[in-house]
Structure 1
Amino acid sequence: MTPTVWTFVIVCPLVFLAGFVDSVAGGGGGLSLPAYLIAGVPIKIAAGTNKLANGFGTALASYKYIVSGNVDWLCAIPSALGSLAGSSLGTSLAVYLNEEVLEMIVLAALPVVAVVLFFARDFGKVEKPPKSRGKTLVLSLLIGLLIGLYDGLVGPGTGTFLAIGFSLVLGYTLLKSSGCAKIANLASNVASMVIFFLDGDLLFSVGIPAMLCSMAGNYVGARFAIKGGSDKIRSIMFLVLGLLFVKVGLNLLGIIDF
């Protein structure tokens, strides 16, 4: 495929926006992947190029969270390992499971998550007393494994669910949860990017400009989240959950297919 001016006009702004959203609350992939498809990039190459841009963007956002002190490595490393294992398992199981059933489960779960976030006003605002080192390691690994499994089976909103899981189970603020989620996402992004690269499914002529836009969006978004704190992250999470609900619903109706 030879990109045109319109390819970049469509892809670059949406990838920047996706990077911003993803660095704050996760779920940016639901905006960036459709951008490539709208621009006419074939689905497999779009997925690979999307991983290239997202990988570098997530790396920059991760750096911002790390230097601001909002990453707990006791959570981040085991959850990253669990996410890698779960994602691989989920991808393998997806071949044997009915995708529509999985999407219906997600569609039913999303409003429940949104209602919990809405009524639990203090959710993720104040950090709860830390759990023991052993519990944190085990629970982080399990959260990474379960959300990674979801990522391999269904996909959208992985970063959002990781952040919610860390706050709900480990008692972190949403800001620290988002920082830990970035590390787990980065691990799975890099692994996927390497696979797509080896298969030759990266369009560098589009991917390099998209990568720069993703990095810019992630940088701005991470600064926004770190300065705004958990309240700002919570607001963006409602937006992500709403968009995800619409996306999965349209998939089930057969209106879109990505």
Structure 2
Amino acid sequence: MEVLIVSAASLLAGFVDSIVGGGGLILVPALFATFPTAAPATLFGTNKSASVWGTAWATVQYSRRVQLRWAALAPAALAAFGGSFAGAWLVTLIDPGFLRRALPFVLAAVLVYTLAKKELGRHHAPMLARRHEAAAAALIGLVIGFYDGFFGPGTGSFLVFLFVRLLGYDFLHASASAKFVNVATNIAALVLFAAKGHIWWHLALPMALANVAGSLLGTRLALKHGAGFVRVAFIVVVTALILKTGYDAFLR
């Protein structure tokens, strides 16, 4: 029964994550609810063992239809890999719980800014020179990669927002780009969690297959409806993240 529950959660997580990020909002709580006595690092590692496949599949699907700026994304992915590895290593040593109270407020600021800027992310207009764009993307990858390895909720949404706000991408290109960077952060964290024995491999395969299936559905929907649809999905997911992280931080 546990396998069916977490696989269903992984399917839905892959669907949401492939559009705009936020799959961890679904899968991580499902894992904690299903296995309440497990070590947090083990559940985080098991989450990565599934989400990395859905994210990688989404990246391939997007790259076939969306022109990605590889000169910026390659350094971003490398920096994200290093940042995520460092964050994953740190979470095996200390509890990231101190971030729980700050996260809802950071997400609320992102949401308010997005709602206030009606045209934000509707048009794809990269605004930095190639070298500066690569440096900015690498910095985004490093910071968000570390956050993903250490804590994680909202990683995809943060990447999308920063690609839109700082690099001038529309929401569709930002989501596609975020997937590529997110693959790097997931692989880094997965390597470290696996090395430390924090993955339940018997759950990895069914959860990965379900995550890929959800990712396939989500990417098709995003590519069909474009940046406007992804922007609405972003607002919905960030709102849900605020409610969930706020509840966890202050009411639970």
Cα distance, 1:114 vs structure 2: 0.8
Whole-Å separation in 2 of the counterparts to 1:23 and 1:200: 28
Letter in 2 for 1:50: N
SS at the partner of 1:155? Answer: coil
What is the distance in 2 between the residues matched to 1:246 and 1:85? Answer: 30
Contact 1:51 1:192 in 2 (8 A): yes
- Structure 1 match to 2:43: 46
After superposition, give the CA deviation of every residue in 1:180-223 in whole Å (9 maximum; x if it has no partner). Answer: 11111101111222222233332232221111100000111111
Q: Which residue matches 2:16? A: 21
Shift of 1:225: 1.0
The answer on whether the counterparts of 2:96 and 2:151 sit within 8 Å (CA) in structure 1 is: no
Provide the identity percentage. Answer: 34
C-alpha separation in 1, matches of 2:18 and 2:46: 18
What are structure 2's unaligned runs of at least 5 residues? none
User: Superposition RMSD on alpha carbons, in Å?
Assistant: 2.2
- For residues 94 and 12 of structure 2, the distance between their equivalents in structure 1, rounded to whole angstroms, comes to 34
SS of 1:104's equivalent?
coil
Aligned equivalent of 1:7, options 2, 8, 26: 2
Deviation at 1:231, TM superposition (A): 1.2
Question: Aligned runs of 1:166-181 on 2, under 5 Å?
Answer: 166-181=163-178
1:64-95 deviation per Cα after TM superposition (whole angstroms, max 9, x unaligned): 01111342212221111222233344456666
The secondary structure found in structure 2 opposite 1:202 is coil
Given the two structures, how large is their TM-score scaled by the length of structure 1?
Answer: 0.88
Verify: 1:30 aligned to 2:25, yes or no: yes
The aligned runs of 1:100-119 (5 Å cut-off) are 100=98, 102-119=99-116
- Give me the whole-angstrom Cα distance separating, in 1, the residues matched to 2:133 and 2:228: 24
**Whole-angstrom CA distance in 2 between matches of 1:240 and 1:70:** 25
The farther-off stretch of 229-238 and 66-75 is: 66-75
Equivalent position of 1:228 in the other structure: 225
Aligned counterparts of 1:254 and 1:91: Cα–Cα separation in 2: 27
Aligned 8 A contact 1:26 1:158 in 2? yes
Aligned counterparts of 2:147 and 2:163: Cα–Cα separation in 1: 16
Contact 1:32 1:50 in 2 (8 A): yes
Counterpart in the other structure of 1:238? 235
In 1, the alpha carbon distance for the partners of 2:234 and 2:194 equals 31
Equivalent residue letter for 1:16: L
Runs of 4+ in 1 over 3 A off after TM superposition: 88-99
Is 1:124 the equivalent of 2:124?
Answer: no
2:206 corresponds to 1:209:
yes
Q: Look up the equivalent residue of 2:138 and give its one-letter code.
A: L
| Residues 39/93 of structure 1: CA separation in 2 closer, same or farther (3 Å cut) | closer
Q: Can you list the C-alpha shifts for 1:122-170, whole angstroms capped at 9, x where unaligned?
A: 1111112542111111111111122223334432111111111011111
Unaligned runs of 5+ in 1: 1-5
Q: Quick one: structure 1 residues 70 and 227, their matched pair in 2 at CA, closer, same or farther if it must change by over 3 Å?
A: farther
Change (3 A) 1:155 1:216: same
| 1:62-211 correspondence to structure 2 within 5 Å | 62-91=59-88, 99-100=97-98, 102-211=99-208
Give the superposition deviation at 1:233: 1.0
Q: CA deviation at 1:242?
A: 1.7
TM-score (norm 2): 0.90
